[in-house]
């Protein structure tokens, strides 16, 4: 991997047994956790994403020498082609905030199916940002655009207790919790990535609706600039050995 592994990933994995384990990165994004798992000596990493661009990015990032340890899989996390009881460690780094509440349970069920008994799960995500955070305005716009186009929110911030409860229903027990970022640095690059989501939704709408949405997103990015607010947490779970 030519690219640095974020400290958030390294920290979340630091107390996990990765070396020699078969791992699943649920929601591969640009492959940051795949990079971290490979660096920590994973035997094999399944990087699952439903986004073709992300899949291509992850494939690009994997060095030739690691190619035989990674399988990038384009699939819906509610129904993957992976075998039952085939994975030792599941990671969901920054995944849940892009999942609507209605999908959480089905994804938890699928990840549990794939995970071996006594396996581990690391869920890293954002706590609900403080009510006075400026980024909330951009996130609200993003959700409004997503609801108009897709009928579902783009972002949902789950308190750790909620995700703990969702996975508890599938026999996962929280073994440790820690703060990865406090505060979270929402940089210009992050805000622009969120504005880009708004622009993509806006492009699917008639100009009369899409153009003002895009203008609002651009204005918000310019007005906010960057902001440090809220926290990112990490939960490590163990699956009951049944």
Partner 1 sequence: METRALGDTGQESTVLTFGSIALNWLEQEGANQLIELVLDHGVNHFDVAPTYGDAELKLGPKLRQYRDDIFLGCKTQEREYEGAARKIDRSLDRLGIDTIDLYQIHGLEYEDELDTITADGGALDAIREAKAAGKIDHIGLTSHGNPKLILDAIDRIDDLETVMFPLNPVVAGKDGDEYDYEAVLERCDAEGIGTLGIKAFAKGSWPSTDELPEADRPYANWYEPVDTPEAIRERFDFAAAQGLDTVVSPGDPKLVAMVLDAASRSEGMDEARQRTVIEEARHDDSPVPEQLHH
Give the whole-angstrom CA distance, residue 23 versus residue 105.
Answer: 21
- The answer to whether 230 contacts partner 1 (rule: CB under 8 A) is no
DSSP 76: B
The pair of structure tokens assigned to 198 is 């708004």
The pair of structure tokens assigned to 128 is 């609900």
- The answer to whether 232 contacts partner 1 (rule: CB under 8 A) is yes
**How many degrees, rounded to 5, is the angle at CA 160 between CA 227 and CA 167?**
140
Could you tell me whether strands 184-186 and 172-181 are parallel, antiparallel, or unpaired per DSSP bridges? unpaired
CB nearer to partner 1: pick between 71 and 155: 155
* Contact range with partner 1 by CB under 8 A, out of 42-50, 162-170, 182-190, 202-210: 182-190
Full DSSP string of 159-201: PHHHHHHHHHTTTEEEEEEEEEESSEEE-HHHHHHHHHHHHHH
Write the binding mask 139 to 168 for partner 1: x where contact by CB under 8 A, - elsewhere: ------------------------------
Cβ-based neighbours of 228, under 8 Å, separated by 6 or more: 183, 184, 185, 186
Q: Out of 13, 47, 181, 239, point to the residue binding partner 1 (CB under 8 A).
A: 181
CB nearer to partner 1: pick between 43 and 178: 178
* Contact range with partner 1 by CB under 8 A, out of 67-75, 79-87, 208-216, 224-232: 224-232
* Contact range with partner 1 by CB under 8 A, out of 105-113, 114-122, 169-177, 190-198: 190-198
Which parts of this chain interact with partner 1 (CB under 8 A)? 2-8, 11, 29-30, 32, 39, 54, 57, 61, 93-94, 97-98, 126, 178-185, 187, 189-190, 192-194, 197, 226, 228, 231-232
């Amino acid at each position: 991997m030519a690219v640095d592994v974020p400290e958030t990933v390294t920290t979340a994995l630091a107390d996990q047994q990765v070396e020699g384990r078969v791992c699943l990165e649920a929601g591969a994004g640009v492959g940051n956790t795949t990079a971290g798992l490979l660096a920590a000596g994973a035997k094999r990493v399944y990087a699952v994403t439903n986004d073709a661009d992300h899949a291509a990015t992850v494939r690009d990032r994997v060095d030739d020498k690691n190619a035989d340890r990674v399988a990038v899989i384009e699939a819906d996390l509610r129904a993957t082609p992976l075998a039952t009881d085939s994975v030792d460690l599941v990671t969901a780094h920054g995944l849940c905030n892009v999942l609507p509440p209605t999908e959480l349970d089905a994804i938890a069920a699928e990840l549990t199916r794939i995970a071996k008994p006594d396996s581990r799960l690391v869920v890293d995500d954002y706590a609900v940002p403080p009510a006075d955070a400026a980024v909330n305005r951009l996130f609200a716009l993003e959700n409004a655009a997503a609801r108009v186009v897709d009928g579902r929110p783009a972002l949902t911030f789950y308190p750790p207790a909620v995700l703990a409860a969702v996975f508890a229903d599938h026999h996962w027990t929280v073994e440790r919790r820690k703060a990865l970022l406090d505060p979270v640095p929402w940089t210009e690059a992050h805000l622009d990535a969120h504005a880009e989501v708004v622009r993509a939704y806006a492009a699917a709408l008639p100009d009369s609706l899409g153009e003002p949405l895009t203008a609002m997103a651009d204005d918000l990015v310019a007005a906010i600039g960057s902001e440090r607010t809220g926290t990112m947490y990490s939960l490590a779970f163990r699956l009951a050995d049944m």
